[in-house]
Chain A
Amino acid sequence: MAVLLLAEVTDGALAVDATAKAVTAAAALGEVTVLCAGASAKAAADEAAKIEGVAKVLCAEDAALSHRLAEPTAALIVSLAGDYSHIVAPGTTDAKNIIPRVAALLDVMVISEVTGVVDADTFERPIYAGNAIQTVKSGDATKVMTIRTAGFDAAGMDGSASVETIGAAADPALSEWVEDKVAESDRPELTSAGVVVSGGRGVGSEEDFALIEKLADKLGAAVGASRAAVDSGYAPNDWQVGQTGKVVAPDLYVAVGISGAIQHLAGMKDSKIIVAINKDEEAPIFQVADFGLVADLFDAVPELTEKL
């Protein structure tokens, strides 16, 4: 068994955490070769070579591979696919863009967001936003999948794999990059943040969301919101946590003024520690919270911000 793992490389830099976690999942399947692709990828390849459990690193540098456009990156992976039984990548937005395209080009079904490896053909993955876990067995010749990295520990950094330079595949030239806008916020990105503070309809207004943001900044947290808060115009849609928004699993999730509708719980119930602050003691959020505080958020949140 041989595994090709597409490393997460952004503007020449390796996303070490996501890649090292995916290596842990991939190492259970066979010998791991990591592919680093980009306009510049050498530094990322050298870094990936240090991840324990990596047998070899392939480094493909080409202008067409910059910005991880799906068509040329998928073409590159397909050109290498013959040597591997499994093609995997950490479940980033880049990989979710590229990997299903690879699967269709190979005429195999993609297995998205794998959370557990049972054997070389059998995998666990969440469905219905994590409300059920499905175990699936693939009958395809090549297994093509993304890994939900939150459930795997990162491999160590004491490895020393060899790095081999390879060429890019022909660029289909179907798309071109225009620009990137990195979120202006100094806060961590919602889906990978260690701490998330979310506000719900109970916050009451867009202005009062500042209370949530202050607590988040005190904790070095990302800010989230329930769908009810988004629909009420209190928070932008890209803050939405839930089945129709983002699925998060931070070490600490603080839910403020959120009742705990099913669709919200689906997006945060895998968090390690959940804190709920709500004045309604009957709110369903308390059924999943490790620590619940029945209180008016307008008193409790500023006090908590001050005392932390």
Chain B
Amino acid sequence: MKVIVPVKRVIDYNVKVRVKADGTGVDLANVKMSMNPFDEIAVEEAIRLREAGKVEEVVAVSIGVKQAQETLRTALAMGADRAILVVAADDVHTDIEPLAVAKILAGIVKEENPDLVICGKQAIDNDMNATGQMLSALLGWSQATFASEVNLDGDSAIVTREVDGGLQTIKVKTPTIISVDLRLNEPRYASLPNIMKAKKKPLDEKTPADYGVDVTPRLTVVSTSEPATRQAGIIVGSVDELVEKLKEAGAV
């Protein structure tokens, strides 16, 4: 069984986001970039499935700027077998929309014929939470989103999903798309020897044109602004004063 894992290069989750002064977006020049945290969980799950003997090959895919090859090398260092980079933008500030990403991934799926695509439930930059669902729609496959537990069982997968207020377990026919949530696993750190080994693993470079996909955005960004800032309030001197203030504010 082959698994494809899409990974996205995003601003590191510990970096403070700064909106560009001209309102065109968030400043990503000279900012620490990392693999999207949800995608790390997806890579980890795919590798665990291979270690459990249920999967033979894990292929990591990234769609974006050329620098996303660093993200793919991270996936390879964690244990992915090979990687495909689809260079779809020159400027680090260009975000390829989930619909275009899903179309490119659908092209890759047709070439690679995996049984499973495991992806992060959302990227922490555009917060769209859409690529897995869109890919599933384009392929006419089943989908199991927000997974916190995955069990492969012959030609189906039993997936427990994180939903509002609890968990839902569903059984989906394979091939399928699984999007992963936080509780699924804790991703490993790549060891230094594995980082060295990852440099020699195959990494193919492609373009959207190779898959006949137009990445022109459907949504035009009109402006990007800072959210309303919060004013720091007051420091109270005691628990009694806190209770009093909360009562005054109608909060309790």
State the A residues within 8 Å of B (CB): 67, 69-71, 74, 92-94, 96-105, 107-113, 122, 125-140, 172, 174-183, 189, 191-192, 219, 236-238, 240, 243-245, 251-252, 261-263, 269-270, 272-275, 281, 286-295, 300, 303-304, 307-308
CA distance A102 to B99 in the complex (A): 11
CA distance A133 to B142 in the complex (A): 33
New contact pairs (19) apart from A237-B183, A244-B182, A274-B233, CB-CB < 8 Å: A70-B136, A96-B145, A97-B143, A110-B128, A129-B127, A131-B26, A135-B225, A175-B144, A175-B170, A175-B171, A175-B172, A180-B168, A181-B168, A189-B164, A240-B182, A244-B124, A286-B232, A290-B233, A308-B252
Task: Tell me the minimal C-beta distance from A176 to chain B in angstroms.
Answer: 5
- Contact, CB under 8 Å: B236 / A291: yes
CA distance A262 to B16 in the complex (A): 7
- Contact, CB under 8 Å: A69 / B230: no
B148 and chain A: residue at smallest CB distance: A238
- Contact, CB under 8 Å: B168 / A110: no
> How many residues of chain B get a CB closer than 8 Å to chain A's CBs?
80
CA distance A245 to B181 in the complex (A): 9
Name 26 A/B residue pairs within 8 A (Cβ), A-sorted.
Answer: A67-B170, A69-B170, A74-B137, A93-B146, A93-B163, A100-B133, A104-B134, A104-B138, A109-B219, A110-B130, A128-B17, A131-B26, A133-B224, A133-B227, A135-B221, A135-B223, A175-B144, A175-B173, A179-B169, A180-B167, A183-B165, A238-B183, A244-B182, A251-B251, A292-B234, A293-B239
Q: Interface code B175-189, partner A: CB below 8 Å = 1, 0 otherwise?
A: 010000011000000
Contacts of A71 in B (CB 8 A): 142-143
B208 at the interface (CB under 8 A from A): no
Q: Tell which of B131, B135, B225 touches A132, judged by Cβ atoms closer than 8 Å.
A: B225
- Contact, CB under 8 Å: A94 / B243: no
State which residues 106-131 of B face A: CB under 8 Å: 124-131
- Contact, CB under 8 Å: A244 / B219: no
Q: Tell which of A70, A270, A303 touches B143, judged by Cβ atoms closer than 8 Å.
A: A70
Task: Tell me the minimal C-beta distance from B97 to chain A in angstroms.
Answer: 5
- Contact, CB under 8 Å: B99 / A131: no
CA distance A286 to B232 in the complex (A): 7
CA distance A270 to B165 in the complex (A): 21
Q: Tell which of B124, B163, B227 touches A94, judged by Cβ atoms closer than 8 Å.
A: B163
CA distance A289 to B242 in the complex (A): 12
Contacts of A245 in B (CB 8 A): 182
- Contact, CB under 8 Å: A137 / B227: no
B106 and chain A: residue at smallest CB distance: A104
Task: Tell me the minimal C-beta distance from A285 to chain B in angstroms.
Answer: 10
CA distance A189 to B164 in the complex (A): 7
CA distance A104 to B100 in the complex (A): 10
CA distance A137 to B26 in the complex (A): 18
Contacts of B165 in A (CB 8 A): 182-183, 189
Contacts of A238 in B (CB 8 A): 162, 182-183
Contacts of B146 in A (CB 8 A): 93, 96-97
CA distance A175 to B252 in the complex (A): 45
B226 at the interface (CB under 8 A from A): yes
- Contact, CB under 8 Å: A126 / B127: yes
- Contact, CB under 8 Å: B19 / A70: no
- Contact, CB under 8 Å: A178 / B170: yes
- Contact, CB under 8 Å: A122 / B222: yes
Do A138 and B227 contact each other (CB < 8 Å), given the known contacts A110-B128, A127-B26, A178-B170? no
- Contact, CB under 8 Å: A137 / B236: no
